[in-house]
Every structure is written in structure tokens, then in C-alpha cells.
Amino acid sequence: MNATPAETTGPALRTLSGLRFSKGHGTGNDFVLVADPEGTHVIGADQAAALCDRHRGIGADGLIRAVPSRFLPEGRELLAGTPDAEWFMDYRNADGSLSEMCGNGVRVFVHFLRTEGLIDLPDGGSLTIGTRAGVKTVVRTGDGYAVDMGPWEFIFPGEASAKAMDSLVTADGLEVPRPALSVSMGNPHTVVALAELAELTGTRLFTAPKVDPVPANGTNVEFVVPAEPLVHDGVGSVTMRVHERGVGETQSCGTGACAAAVATRHWAGAEAPDAWQVHVPGGVVGVKFFAGPGGHEHVELSGPAVIVASGTLS
């Protein structure tokens, strides 16, 4: 018989007794953070899920372990090509599953390293970190952090180019399935355009939307409403809600905001801007497109990061 969450959360947390942690968020996308400079904290899927449990644990959208890259096989692989990627963002979703990365989490991760005294990053300075989606460069700005999220790509490029859609999404609150566009930001996203804010508000995300066809590793699903007018003073604007795989609806999703901007810009055509504001329930993040190395277009995500509490598990 499978154990219920109530049966597993307590024992899983007891194995972590004495563990120091912090709680932080980026535009409401919240995380439990653990510093592990010696690489001694092995936190498995059940323990991560117990920590993130909002009723019996600390509560969060995900767990971030800050660990030197040399202690992880994925980190050592990145160090071979990027020796300055000293720190690795070891990230798990709220259900304990491993994830490639999280755009809001990257900002909170770097802010956590600063507040823990593990790095010195002056305003305007940059830091290279390792993630399961590759190396990321983070710049400290006056009121937050900007992250080079790397290149984006369509998951189904043929359909995206030919039809500007590649799948259908069914969600509670929407009467019929809606066309969508799938974008990889190192992790998978499926973006659905809605006509008005009332549709966005009426979409119920208590359960995961159904995506057909679904990308190989599952997908996060973003529902976006373009602003009217779409562009103001050279900056595009959309409002977004998101259902994250392994989590549920969250207040914000950084990679999802990037994917929403990618899809909306594609739908808007050649005259669409390269700078965007994405309004999420937890606030506003900025997205910019710029020419990266090797001719690949990169995406920059910018926004705040906050540490709200620290403590020790009893």
C-alpha cells in the first residue's frame, strides 16, 4: 500500500532535524533554500516534498540546495567548460521531482548566496552559476537581478513555423480546447493565448491542463492575455497565469514568463519589440531578447528577489 502524504511527511522531516534553511521568493514564486558548501546534505525527493508541503512542512513551490558544482556529476561536467561556475543550483519541484532550473529561483538563489556570505557580488557585478539547464550568468541590478537565461527554441519547430501553434490545451473553465505554442527555455513550456482578462480569471488551474501532444518530459502551461495596445513606448506587455508541472499554479514562473514573451512576440510578427513586461499574480518581471554567442538569440529575465525568513528544523 502506498503511504499517504500525512504518513510520509513527518518521518521525512525528522531525518532533516537540525537543518538550517531560509525561505525566499521572486514575485511570489517561493522556495526553501539550503546552503550546502561542503556537499554533505543529501536531500531526496520525499524530503524535498515534505519541506515544501504547505500544511505539514515549511511550504514552497520548490527546494533549492546551494552546493559547489564539484560535488555533483552535472556540476563537474559544467566546470570542464566553464571553470568559474563554482556554485550549482540543485533544484527540486514541490513534489520532490528534479527540475532543470527555475528563472525566479535563479535570482533568489544568487540573493541567498549573498545573504549567507558565500559570495561577494557588488551592484553591477555578475556571477556564473551551474544548473541542470546549463550555465547561467546573473547580474546584480539596483533593485534585483537580471539573468541570461540562454537561448530559446520551439519544441516543435516545424509546426511553430508553419501554423504558429503545435498543440491543443484543455483546461477547466475554458469551454473548448485552445491552440498553443510550445517553447523550451531549458525546460518545457506550452503557451496559450486568451482573448480577455475575464477568460484568464475564469480558467481554473487546480488540476493540470491537458496538452495534446505533450512534450516528452511534460510541460508547464502558461495562459496569457496580450495588453491593449500590445506595445507601449517600445515595450510589449502581457498578463499571465501558469500551472507548473510538479507544483500546480504558482504566483510566478520566470522561465514561463520568458516563454510567454517568446510566443506572443512570434504571434505578433516581425514588428514586435524585443523588450517585454510580464504581469503575473506575484508582480512584474522583465524579459528582453538579445543576440547571444554563435548567432543564437538569448533571453534575459529581470526582477526582484527576497529572503523572508531563516530557521532550523526541529
**Residue 308 Cα to chain centre, angstroms:** 19
Catalytic residue among 43, 113, 129, 253: 253
Distance, in Å, from the CA atom of 7 to the CA atom of 107, rounded to the nearest integer, reads: 34
Peptide bond into 213 cis (omega under 30): yes
> What are the percentages of helix, strand and coil residues in the chain, rounded to 5?
25, 40, 35
Q: Which residues contact 173 (CB under 8 A, 6 or more apart)?
A: 202, 203, 204
Go through 128-159 and write b for each residue having 16 or more CB atoms within 10 A of its CB, e for each that does not.
Answer: bbbbbbbbbbbbbeeebbbbbbbbbebbbeeb
User: Is 253 annotated as catalytic?
Assistant: yes
Nearest to 246 by CA among 145, 99, 106: 99
Q: Which of 223, 178, 168 is nearest to 201 (CA)?
A: 223
Q: How far apart are CA 96 and CA 61, in angstroms?
A: 10
Catalytic residue (choose from 43, 49, 102, 280): 102
Q: Which residues pair with 70 in a beta bridge?
A: none
258 is catalytic: no
Residue type, 201: T
How far, in Å, CA of 278 to CA of 68, rounded?
32
Query: Would you please indicate which residues are annotated as catalytic (active-site) residues?
Result: 102, 253
